[in-house]
Amino acid sequence: MTKTFKFSNKEIVNLFKEVLAAMEVKKFSIFRIRAYQNVIITIEGLTVSVFNLWENNKLDEIPGVGPTLKSHMDELFTTGRVVEFDAIKHDLPQGMFELLGLRGIGAKKAYKLAAAFKLHSREDTLEIIKNAALSHKIQNLDGFGEKSEEQILISLTEMKKTKQEKPRMLLMQAEEIAGRITSYLKNHPEIKDAVVMGSYRRRAPTIGDLDIAIKTTDSQAALNYFLKYPEIEEVVVSGDKRVAVTLSNDIQVDIRVCEDDDFGSMMQYFTGSKNHNIILRTYALEHGCSLSEYGIKKRGELNKFTCEEDFYNFIKLPYIPPEIRHGTKEIELAQKNKLPNLIQITDLKGDLHSHTIASDGLNSFQEMVSEAIKLNYDYFGVSDHAPSIQTKGYDDVAKIIENTRRMIDTFNNSQSKIKVLFGYEVNILADSKISLPDELLKILDYAVASIHSSFNQDKKTLTSRLVAAARHPLINIIGHPSGRLINERESADIDWREFFIAAADNNKIIEINSQPNRLDLTEDLIPDALSRNIRLVINSDAHSTGQLNYIKYGIDAARRSWCGKEDIINTQNFDQIIRILQSSSLR
């Protein structure tokens, strides 16, 4: 076989980002730049390895791959480089490419810094920039200031941190990868079931590795079959009852096999969390029982369990839902029979945050509403980003809002399947003002206020923005309050206590945004908000019909933070929701 150069998706993306930056500095045509941007977005979203697809002659399966990109990948994987890319990059100071990973540093700034400090070698670039920032040599450069100098130092620390951490996959990505593996496994006649355990079953927002339990009477056949799974890159552990592998997308998969009669014990053990299992084991020991993945030993005798519920019942506990197996208070509560009745997706009667083609959504009003009807919702809030007065002018914006109001009223009068609520997602601006004036806000049924800019302000300023929105008489819901984007942007530095007090005092509703990379209000803060009697809404923030289903991730987050049906307002019927919206503003 000829030698190949295996680049991971991440390495390929970085390569494209560098070429893109070089193209931007050199002012290539917007069409070429767009094409490269699209390639980056596509590859970043893939859960299969580009190299693997290429090896199997399946690059065509990636949407939008043309002949040019294909020939670049051929060259990259056979020679380890792309001559055209090197040519585009070669006459620029190479240190600029090292700076691209820094938050807030785009192509132009990276180039300016690299030119000013003569950053010709990539190795010492970060050190030179750090020293330059510490000795305040950056703030005097054209286009930089004291603030950006400070930001560079913060970003340098962040970068060091993220380089040390292996990124965890989003739950949604894990579902895609796990779905492929389990449907492969279930094709085998000797495999009766294959269930994903670990953090995946506990529905954590991010997943480190996949843990799969296989139910079979023929362990050897099942494991041999798994080892033929085409995405496997390397076998890390291989034993009688377990294997661990890494896939070509760098994801680790742990497999355990067991028979029917101890599948329940295995599920309990393999679901974790580790802390839950530790506390459960201590509790069981106090009752003369010793737990393992094989069952429960009592007075020297091993009791096996086909189902998990019997396992818990044997040690005199009710079934504990995986989402709350945190290893905190769940076992104590279970002992007292005081586990909450967690919210379920079927409890939801509507969704109050969605986008259409009127702003940045992909589907029309009609398409979004039809999908909401299919989900059996009683009501559906369409909350596009409000049209901007700055770009469109006041009169046009007022006209758009009046027309939309009329359109939605007409729609509601024309059918009885669903009630559409007219909302907007308005911006909480850097100076705490709301992006739409009061008299226009009044035309809506409700308004969601969110921060979409200036996340790097100091804690006091950021907090005062959320507090201002909480006090605003025409705002009902505060959207994705922390602003975090998992693996991309940390939660904003907010004084949560202060914000929650303002929200509680003003009857505001706080959103649990279900976008898989947001899940915001973050689950660690949900119990605190609830203890202050703040009402929460689980919203999809869907930007397409398919994304309306993302609401299940919001349900997961709510269950993980102990929410019952009564804690979430959109489990209420239409009349009640109207009353709640009314009580949250002076509309």
Query: How far is the C-alpha of 237 from the C-alpha of 245, rounded, in Å?
Result: 7
At position 358, the amino acid (one-letter code) is: A
| CB atoms near residue 479 (< 10 Å) | 30
Judged on CB neighbours under 10 Å (0-12, 13-18, 19+), 40 is middle
Task: Tell me if 404 sits within 8 A of 354, measured CB to CB.
Answer: no
Residues forming contacts to Zn ion in the complex (CB under 5 A) are 450
- Interaction with ligand DGT in 276-305: which residues (CB under 6 A)? 277-278
- Supply the minimum distance, in Å, between the C-beta of residue 527 and Zn ion: 24
- Supply the minimum distance, in Å, between the C-beta of residue 206 and Ca ion: 10
Query: How far is the C-alpha of 163 from the C-alpha of 152, rounded, in Å?
Result: 16
Residue 270 interface partner, choices Ca ion, ligand DGT, Zn ion, none, CB cut-off 5-8 Å depending on type = ligand DGT
Site for ligand DGT (CB under 6 A): which residue of 270, 283, 377, 455?
270
- Supply the minimum distance, in Å, between the C-beta of residue 170 and Zn ion: 17
Query: How far is the C-alpha of 578 from the C-alpha of 583, rounded, in Å?
Result: 9
List the structure tokens of 472.
């605003």
| 199 binding ligand DGT? (CB under 6 A) | yes
Closer Cβ to Zn ion, 181 or 421, answer by number: 421
Q: Which stretch binds ligand DGT (CB under 6 A): 4-12, 96-104, 197-205, 560-568?
A: 197-205
Q: Which residue is nearest to ligand DGT (CB)?
A: 272
| 211 binding Ca ion? (CB under 5 A) | yes
What angle do helix axes 171-185 and 551-560 make, rounded to 10 degrees? 100
319 closest CA partner among 327, 213, 311, 199: 311
- Supply the minimum distance, in Å, between the C-beta of residue 271 and ligand DGT: 6
Which x/- pattern, by CB under 5 A, does the window 94-133 give for Ca ion? ----------------------------------------
Site for ligand DGT (CB under 6 A): which residue of 209, 259, 309, 493?
209
Number of residues that bind ligand DGT (CB under 6 A): 14
12 closest CA partner among 93, 94, 72: 72
Judged on CB neighbours under 10 Å (0-12, 13-18, 19+), 475 is buried
**Which residue stretches of 325-388 are H helix?**
330-335, 365-374
- Supply the minimum distance, in Å, between the C-beta of residue 199 and ligand DGT: 3
Which x/- pattern, by CB under 5 A, does the window 240-259 give for Ca ion? --------------x-----
Residue 174 interface partner, choices Ca ion, Zn ion, ligand DGT, none, CB cut-off 5-8 Å depending on type = none
Closer Cβ to ligand DGT, 270 or 312, answer by number: 270
Site for ligand DGT (CB under 6 A): which residue of 274, 392, 497, 532?
274
352 closest CA partner among 378, 385, 380, 377: 380
Assign residue 239 a region (left: φ > 0; alpha: ψ between -120 and 50; beta: otherwise). Answer: beta
Query: Site residues (CB under 6 A) for ligand DGT?
Result: 198-199, 204, 207-209, 211, 269-270, 272-274, 277-278
Query: Site residues (CB under 5 A) for Ca ion?
Result: 198, 209, 211, 254
